[in-house]
Amino acid sequence: MKKRTLGKSNLEVSALGLGCMGMSFSYGPPKDKQEMTTLLRAAVERGVTFFDTAEVYGPYTNEELVGEALAPFRKQVVIATKFGFDLSGSDKRPGAAGLNSQPAHIKQAVEGSLKRLKTDVIDLFYQHRVDENVPIEDVAGAVKELIQAGKVKHFGLSEAGAKTIRRAHAVQPVTALQSEYSLFWREPETEIIPTLEELGIGFVPFSPLGKGFLTGKIDENTKFDATDFRNVVPRFTPEARKANQVVVDLLNTIAARLKVTPAQVALAWLLAQKPWIVPIPGTTKLPRLVENIGGAALELTPDDLREINAASDKLTLQGARYPENLQKLVGR
């Protein structure tokens, strides 16, 4: 697989990473640990070098899974994890757990993540959500100290707004921003992408397949497991799914002509936006992993891209991408 560098940093990763959250958390019950270990190792064998986890996924169990599965390949992979939720309460779901990015808490979080990931350094350490109770300069300063101490290599932010990115970057250069971006959610094009380009920061889109919607495998009649996060997402109500089918129809048209899948078109479109964009689609199935990797090899022509953009620009998609309690944590 081709490699990409995240912004002006020297962090080189595979053009497509692997989001590991769904293996333990959020999309139905946790998957079998042995099966997921096999999948993670299959990704390495196929050229994926960038793996994304967080302490809150599980909580903790996803980091443990990733750490154990990738231990034999530690020197050839880049592991990103995240801090910033307060997991001291009884309800540890991100929507329920409060935020805590106090410098002392960050330093405590890094020790736990290092242990679970079976490593002595974290390649990329993101603040999971901006904590309005802690100045971002203090957060960046705490991570800077961890970098100086050799416990972290690179600093990242997730779902931060442009002003926050600038303030953080002035204290400790930000290597990457992780936020949602896809043909299902193009808002970052307005302010975020120009800011990242100006500052030389890489962009790591999560949900590059619209939480599965852009694969064409979900319609208004799809039933999700009771524990699936999409049950509470306004964009995934049956009415919204029916209305939003237009974006899948667009992908299907292009995919049929190119003899590829809608998911591959969606990923190739993202990769074509900027050379410093590295999507991290998540999956728990080997055929999906192979399909996604095929998307990284697909090169859309300028005409293809113009056709997709012109059609996408005319679409108005229905429904917010988060329930209200989580929506207020983004773009701060």
Question: What is the domain partition of the chain in residue ranges?
Answer: 3-327
Mean pLDDT of all residues in 196-222:
97
pLDDT, averaged across the chain: 96
Residue 91 has pLDDT above 80, yes or no: no
Query: How far apart are alpha carbons 207 and 246 in whole angstroms?
Result: 18
Question: What's at 139, amino acid-wise?
Answer: V
Could you tell me which residues come within 8 angstroms of residue 167 by beta carbon, excluding any fewer than 6 positions away?
136, 137, 140
Mean pLDDT of all residues in 142-164:
98
- Architecture field, domain 3-327: Alpha-Beta Barrel (3.20)
Chain segment 101-137, per-residue pLDDT in tens: 999 999 999 999 999 999 999 999 999 999 999 999 9
Give 55's DSSP letter: T
From the candidates 57, 60, 126, 181, give the one annotated as an active-site residue: 57
Asked if 57 is an active-site residue, the reply is yes
pLDDT number for residue 88: 86
pLDDT number for residue 171: 98
Name the residue with higher pLDDT: 99 or 94: 99
Mean pLDDT of all residues in 259-274:
98
pLDDT number for residue 90: 72
Chain segment 1-26, per-residue pLDDT in tens: 999 999 899 999 999 999 999 999 99
pLDDT number for residue 94: 61
The strands making up 152-158's β-sheet, listed across from edge to edge, are: 18-19, 50-52, 78-83, 122-127, 152-158, 174-180, 202-206
* Structure tokens belonging to residue 161: 């707004």
Alpha helices in 149-260 (DSSP H): 162-171, 192-199, 238-258
How many Cβ atoms sit within 10 Å of the Cβ of residue 252?
15
Report residue 95's pLDDT band, with 50, 70 and 90 as the boundaries: low
pLDDT number for residue 303: 96
Residue 154 has pLDDT above 80, yes or no: yes
pLDDT number for residue 322: 92
